[in-house]
Structure 1
Amino acid sequence: MKISHLAALAISAACLAACLALPAQAQPAPGKILRVVPHSDLKNLDPVASSIVITRMHGLMIYETLFAWDAGLNPKPQMVESFSTSADKLTWTFTLRPGLKFHDGQPVTTRDVIPSLKRWMARDTIGGKLGEYTEGMQAIDDKSFTLKLKRPMALVPFALGSAVGQIPAIMRESDATSDPMKPISETIGSGPFRFNKAEWRSGAKVVYDRNPDYVPRSEPADGLSGGRVVKVDRVEWMIMPDPATAAAALQTGEIDIWEQPSQDLVPVISRDRNVKIERYNNLATQALLRPNQLHPPFDNPKARLALAYATDQAEFMAGGYGDEAWWKRCNSYFICGSPDGTEAGAEIFGKPDLAKARQLLAESGYKGEKLVLTSSMDIPAIGRMAEVAADSLKKAGFNIDLQFSDWGTVTTRQQNRGTTDQGGWNLFVTTASGATMQSPLTNIGTNMACEKAWAGWPCDAEAERLRGAVVDAPDDASRKLAIEILHRRLAEVQPYRVLGQFDQPYARRSTVVGVLSAPVMLFWNIEKN
């Protein structure tokens, strides 16, 4: 997929205005259930407090955002009906489209929107960057508000439509004014699905009912943008941690979609003529090894550099994803094959150098203390890569304690900032979509803003200065140079070790059509014949 640079992301008001809603019609009344095996169980319900993919998928089911990215990652109006910018580009004025109301029947107003955006800006990578540029927000009336900037930022619609990291979900005022550092347990949004909390069974099933009161936009669905028309009565996420069980359920028709089939089973299920193997994301997914930089030894960049020298991407990719047809080596933080996919400064990490890793580890002051690597086999590829990590790092002199638990526990533990004897951690392996990692603005792992950063909490003022230079770049050429300079700095300070990138397929029954290309799997527009 070709994704344009700053000029395309900073779409003009005139261009965007052409995408605004035409008169909309209420949802149809279908009568079918779509059963899906997601990649993990849902434990965290707040898409602003958590950036993990399963929580983001949940958030996009029940909440909406002011703008939404199309399949090319270009922002289009979603909850917004119209907007304008002042001549000096410092004041943006937005008006909400009619018919927006929460699942409890209350209308969506600017009293909900403004605190929702403030809460998101306190947590998210791109939201935090927008927050740095924001002087203030003020309601004009219930449907219109202004966002005043300290200096121009052309990427405002792109940020407000973000579908990565913590999403800018518009919540009720009572939820949005809560502490952004504490997850909410309420699940009242204004989106096309309602969360059925009464039928939620942790570890077994998650249920979403079609919202009969939702009025979609009239444009055709395009990625996350356009009309979110729900064509089934409900969506049930069936939790099946065992890949063989999920494969069998797909082949017998017990389930309709397997969101992330285990690559070693793809050849088996693809032989079934009633099963289709496809991709819903046009950018490769990145695998990464994340160190906790609050505590020794990874508070020292030399110990983090040792991770890069101690690891071979091919071992991780083969361990997690098998056939090389599905993966490739890549030392770009911003995804090889994307417009920002430079490997500047990271070329030296093509092959492991255990002697160099041991030298750096000794220079960091590490003396063999036990390091907790937390992981889960609920997502088999991640669990297998964690095993590769433990083996590789032990060879370089790290004392690794590999601890397995369910994925929900792993992701909850990731938020613990304490030492390991306080329930904290030192390392984890995870993956992130190409849409998340392809830009310095959205890459959650390269945000090195200390306590405002993602789990691992890297802190580097120079990297943050250089990330700001990318946002401020006046044209594509200067932006490209700014990204290269930033990438060289990241290669030095290693906010995380890039483990390579892979193509994640999904599997569906042939009776299912309408799956959209987007950063995560979406469940509107899907029909079950």
Structure 2
Amino acid sequence: MNMQTNIQIGRGPLRSAATRISVAAALLLSTTTLADATVFRTATDTDLKILDPVSTTTAVTIMHGLKVYDTLFSMDENETPQPQMVDTYSVSDDGLIYRFRLRDGLVFSDGSPVESSDVIASIKRWAQKRSEGQLMNERLETIVETDSTAFEIRLKKPFALLIRGLANPVLPMFVMREEEAKTDPSAQITTVIGSGPFIFRQDLWRPGDVVVYEKSPTYKPRSEKASGQAGGKVVNVDRLEERYMPDGNTALQALRNDELDFLYSPPQDAVESLRQDPNFTVGVIDNQGMMGAIRLNTMHPPFNNVYARQAMQALVDQPSILSTMVGSKDMYRVCYSIFGCGAVPFETAAGTEDWKGQNLEKAKDLLKKSGYDGRPIVVMIPSDDEQLMNQSLVLVEFMRQAGFAVDPQSMDWSTLTSRRENTGDPAKDPKVAWDIFGTWLPGSFFKDPFNLALVATGDPKTAWYGWPKDDKIEALRAAWIDAPTTEDQRKAIDDIQVQYYASVPQIYTGQFYQASAWRSQIKGVLKGSYPVYWNLTINP
């Protein structure tokens, strides 16, 4: 008998030994010496502490995931889902069976092949944490492997948004090895064996200082032109170094001194001078813009009371907050549509009539009506993110004017993102629990009811931080998802926003655009929800 008939390629010893030898050889060839390598240098104001992009929604970890993992589908710059790791797919006439075939030659960074079992395990883990996956699970019958590179998603009920969910550009469905993907989603993976265009050099990672990635010698890009997060992810640099620089002026000086090539979030007061300097290019990566947002802990007083939440809505003055966050008036807009304003599909004024503009007297009346007892409100303020820090500081002042006692607590963003998972009562444990934190949401995250930020189940396992509960919003989200016509979708959109302003699950502080800056020799910067580092070239 031929002994090879008992060997499953990519599993067992072959997956962990022989294939890794070939990859080690490839790495030696691809990273000869640092002096010979093309190094692209960038910086972030948030320290990478969490490596698992399924266990968190923190942007720095998601951007890490985009470098080291690939996806089944990706959004192009027009927000259209495109196949990425998928070669071909089809949908049955009744919309209940989705059949997928993976591209040939897909391998992980350890050299082992990407197989259906890896994909299925990745989908299952992702689906427990992400709103699109949870909606899929409600309609799911099973996911089956039909061969090593083909699988089917079988549904009990049609889910027309399935492909779009798999292509989510903000919280992507990353494909991991089955070994890591079987990790409980409430736990974090610590081994990074990727399917994407870069390899994470964990041996060179220095938290609080630098993260190093190298071009993957095993990655197989698509042949199509790169667009957004879709198309050919062709890496033209050997090495990517991402420095942690929480001080914006330090990062700006590094850019000006030719110590950085790209800065995603330069100090806003420096943007105009960078525009005037021929050595730099200034551009907006996400044309949909971002939305400032305030999350309230609705599990405990006072924000388990709707009047207290409405008081917060009434005290917010968008122009004041936006001018402090962003500065230049051409980079922000006052926006009360919870699905965004401008070139977005579902802008609406429904339900906004009583909530446009600041009304401190109304806020005081609502706060009194809530029965607020004067307890200090713990506001977590990120000291290493200038925009979010300014948003929070202005909010704190308005809260005090409306009659809240406030306990502002400064911390770095990484600490904040860990602490926001705590569901405890801040009145009992004010150094661990919390009442309020500010954030921003990328355009793809707020443009329609599909997103996680609007989920109002009240369940920490399914809802986002703050855990609002509103059964009516959830029913209306379901109505929008299953709407048979555009008219029905529009009605659901208006109804959701009316209920949103009645319930106030979160508060928006206005829409803005993030200016990024890079050296003029850098070409090929792509538009999208986040910066990506393929398709870039460095001209002499």
TM (norm. structure 1) is 0.92
Render the CA deviation track for 1:155-175: whole Å, top value 9, x for unaligned: 1111111112x3211111121
User: Is contact 1:251-1:272 (8 Å) kept?
Assistant: no
Which residue of structure 2 lines up, in the alignment, with residue 454 of structure 1?
464
Task: Please state whether the residue corresponding to 2:406 is helix, strand or coil.
Answer: strand
Contact 1:445 1:495 in 2 (8 A): no
The CA deviation string for residues 452-484 of structure 1, in whole angstroms up to 9 with x for no partner, is: 111111111110110011110112222112111
Which of 418, 437, 453 aligns to 1:445? It is 453
Tell me the equivalent position of 1:105: 111
Q: 1:150: how far off?
A: 1.7
Report the AA paired with residue 520 of structure 1. Y
Q: More deviation in 513-522 or 111-120? A: 111-120
Is 1:323–2:323 an aligned residue pair?
A: no
- Pairwise mapping of residues 69-108 of structure 1 onto structure 2 (< 5 A)? 69-108=75-114
Distance in 2, Cα, partners of 1:120 & 1:114: 10
Unaligned stretches of 5+ residues in structure 2: 1-25, 31-35
SS in 2 for 1:497: strand
Tell me the equivalent position of 1:521: 531
Q: Distance in 1 between matches of 2:364 and 2:263?
A: 42
- Give the alignment partner of residue 145 of structure 1, picking from 135, 146, 151: 151
Residue 450 of structure 2 aligns with an amino acid whose one-letter code is L
Task: Pick from 428, 435, 443 the counterpart of residue 434 of structure 1.
Answer: 443
Q: What is the Cα deviation at residue 291 of structure 1?
A: 0.4
Q: For residue 188 of structure 1, what is the aligned residue in structure 2?
A: 193
Deviation at residue 351 of structure 1 after TM alignment: 1.5
Equivalent residues of 1:230, 1:526 under 8 A apart: yes
Tell me, yes or no, if structure 1 residue 203 matches structure 2 residue 208: yes
**In 1, Cα distance between the equivalents of 2:493 and 2:303?**
25
Indicate the larger mover: 515-524 or 417-426.
417-426
Post-superposition offset of 1:330? 0.5
Compute the displacement of 1:269 (Å).
Answer: 2.6
Indicate the percent of aligned positions where both proteins have the same amino acid.
Answer: 38
Runs of 4+ in structure 1 deviating by more than 3 angstroms, as ranges, are 26-31
| 1:39-78 equivalences in 2 (<5 Å) | 39-78=45-84
**Cα offset for 1:183?**
2.1
Counterpart in 1 of 2:176?
Answer: 171
Aligned to 1:391: 397
Contact 1:446 1:490 in 2 (8 A): no
Instruction: Quote the offset at 1:526 in angstroms.
Output: 0.8
- 8 Å Cα contact 1:377-1:384 kept in structure 2: no
**What is the Cα deviation at residue 300 of structure 1?**
1.6
The structure 2 residue matched to 1:350, chosen from 356, 375, 379, is 356
After superposition, residues 114-513 of structure 1 pair within 5 angstroms as 114-164=120-170, 166-337=171-342, 338-420=344-426, 421=429, 423-442=432-451, 444-451=452-459, 452-513=462-523
Alpha-carbon offset, residue 139 of structure 1: 1.1
Cα pair 1:37 1:246 within 8 Å, conserved: yes
Structure 1 residue 253: Cα displacement: 0.9
Structure 2: distance between partners of 1:434 and 1:492: 23
Displacement of 1:370: 1.2
Once the two structures are TM-superposed, the CA of residue 31 in structure 1 deviates from its matched residue by 3.5
Are the counterparts in 2 of residues 376 and 406 from structure 1 also a CA contact under 8 Å?
yes
Q: Distance in 2 between matches of 1:301 and 1:98?
A: 54
Q: 2:176 is aligned with what amino acid? A: M
TM-superposed CA distance for 1:215, in Å, is: 0.7
* 8 A Cα contact 1:121 1:127, kept in partner: yes
Counterpart secondary structure, 2:122: helix
Question: CA contact under 8 A between 1:117 and 1:168: conserved in structure 2?
Answer: yes
The one-letter amino acid of 1:387's match is: L
Q: CA deviation at 1:200?
A: 1.1
Aligned partner letter, 2:326: Y
Hey, what's the Cα distance between the residues in 1 that align with 2:206 and 2:231? 32
Q: 1:273 Cα shift? A: 1.5
Q: Deviations over 1:66-124 (max 9, x none)?
A: 11111111111111111111121101111111111111222111211112111111111
How big is the shift at 1:414? 1.2
Between 28-37 and 194-203, the greater mean CA deviation after superposition: 28-37
Structure 1 window deviating more from structure 2 (198-207 vs 516-525): it is: 198-207
TM-score (norm 2): 0.90
By how many angstroms is 1:146 displaced? Answer: 1.0
Deviation at 1:287, TM superposition (A): 0.3
Is the contact between residue 251 and residue 269 of structure 1 (CA under 8 Å) also seen in structure 2?
no
Structure with greater Cα Rg: 2
How big is each residue's C-alpha offset from its partner over 1:163-202, in whole Å with a ceiling of 9 and x where there is no partner?
Answer: 12x3211111121111112222221111000111111111
Q: Deviation string for 1:230-252 (max 9, x for gaps)?
A: 00001111111111111111112
Please give the alpha-carbon distance, in whole angstroms, between the structure 2 residues aligned to 1:185 and 1:449. Answer: 30
Cα RMSD for the two superposed structures: 1.7
Q: Partner letter of residue 57 of structure 1? A: M
SS in 1 for 2:354: helix
Q: How many Å separate the matches in 2 of 1:357 and 1:295?
A: 19
In the other structure, the counterpart of 2:8 is: none
TM-superposed CA distance for 1:391, in Å, is 0.5
| 3-state secondary structure, aligned to 2:242 | strand
* 1:32 is the counterpart of 2:32: no
Which string of whole-angstrom CA distances, capped at 9 and with x for unpartnered residues, describes residues 250-281 of structure 1? Answer: 11211000011121111233332101111111
Q: What runs of 5+ residues in structure 1 fail to find an aligned partner?
A: 1-25
The aligned amino acid for 1:447 is: V
Is 1:218–1:227's contact at 8 Å kept on the other side of the alignment? yes
Distance, in Å, in 2 between the alignment partners of 1:177 and 1:458 is 29
Alpha carbons 2:338, 2:446 under 8 Å: kept: yes
Query: How many Å separate the matches in 2 of 1:110 and 1:295?
Result: 44
Aligned equivalents of 2:114, 2:353: Cα separation in 1: 50
Deviation at residue 323 of structure 1 after TM alignment: 2.2
* 1:131 positional shift: 2.1
Q: Which amino acid aligns with 1:340?
A: F
- Correspondence for 2:22: none
User: Residue type of the partner of 1:433?
Assistant: P
